[in-house]
Amino acid sequence: MDLKNGKVTVGELMDHPGARAVLQKRFPMLMKHPMMGAARTITLEQILAVAREFAPQKKIDEALADLRRA
């Protein structure tokens, strides 16, 4: 999947079956978060800025690689 240099939105990721499967596999609790629906317009770049405080960089890098292959 083209991540548009981090400019892809959460909504675009959620609408892409392969990307959604990656997110469900790697971040199952995030997928169940009640604010997920409201986050559809947030970019991947914005999410990553916050995620780096909570997840190891290796896990983020692996997820990004999976998303690119989705």
Enter the tokens of residue 54.
Answer: 């909570």
Give the integer Cα–Cα distance in Å for 26 and 6: 18
Tens digit of pLDDT for each residue in 41-63? 999 999 999 989 989 999 999 99
Residue that is written with structure tokens 């997920």 in the block: 36
Enter the tokens of residue 21.
Answer: 């499967």
What is the reported pLDDT for 32? 85
| Amino acid, single-letter form, for residue 39 | A
What is the reported pLDDT for 66? 98
Tens digit of pLDDT for each residue in 2-36? 999 999 999 999 999 999 999 999 989 888 888 88
Q: What proportions of the chain, in percent to the nearest 5, are helix, strand and coil?
A: 65, 5, 30
Total domains, the chain: 1
Range of the domain at 20: 4-69
Enter the tokens of residue 62.
Answer: 């692996």
What is the reported pLDDT for 31? 82
What is the reported pLDDT for 29? 87
